[in-house]
Amino acid sequence: MVHRLALLLLVVTLGRAQVELSDSPRTGALVLAPNFASGYHALWANPANLGFVPTTITFALGTPMGYGEYHHARRWSIGIGEIGGSVASNALSFGQLAAIVFQLNQQRLSLADKQRAAENFSGRGIAFNLDALLIGISYQSSGWGGIAIGVRDRISAEFQLSSMLARIAFLGRYDAYFDSTALNWRGDTVGYARTPKRYSELFDSSRIGMSWLRDYA
């Protein structure tokens, strides 16, 4: 029984190592990506593909009157500065999200606009993911397979705001939480609360997280 359990854990571990979850939206499909990834892209999708010897694929044979169609095997693959990303939000429409990403129709928000934004982001938020390949190099031999090295940055973030935090973020000193105002040293009006709450109370039920990882493979 112990040997069977150890074998099962080994199979599960190897299966997970062959699947690059964060890259599946950019490569097309989670099922097909590991099978067709080649060169340095195989480092994060399916490293076993580097072991295949590259061959020339013939789609149509040449004739005396024309050329054939071939996919010639590549020995070297080099990539620099490849970037792919995604952004999603359940608080903004597609048009609003596109305007923020591409800096379209930028204008100063009125107090009513800020109130609507606070309502939209109450219990909702925005998330984004960015994959940036700094450099990738691979070589495929005709006898022993291939070898590859690569460096990639993976940045992801999620911001989901509670109702109170959304109001504070968009309304600022106009929110009811700030029951008093004062002038700072620059002469600007700032708001403050005479009965402030702890950060744990202000951020309660909010999810704010960000990660920046660099992969060396």
178, 187, 191, 200, 212 from 196: Cα distances, Å: 9, 23, 12, 12, 33
pLDDT at 73 over 70: no
Greater confidence, 25 or 34? 34
Alpha helices in the chain (DSSP H): 2-17, 24-27, 33-36, 42-45, 94-101, 111-120, 163-171, 199-202
pLDDT at 85 over 60: yes
The parent domain of residue 11 ranges over 2-216
Mean pLDDT of 32-40: 71
Count structural domains, the chain: 1
Greater confidence, 61 or 200? 200
50-59, 107-116, 131-140: which range is least confident on average?
A: 50-59
pTM over 0.75: no
pLDDT computed for residue 7 by the predictor: 36
pLDDT computed for residue 76 by the predictor: 86
1, 22, 25, 44, 208 from 31: Cα distances, Å: 32, 13, 11, 14, 31
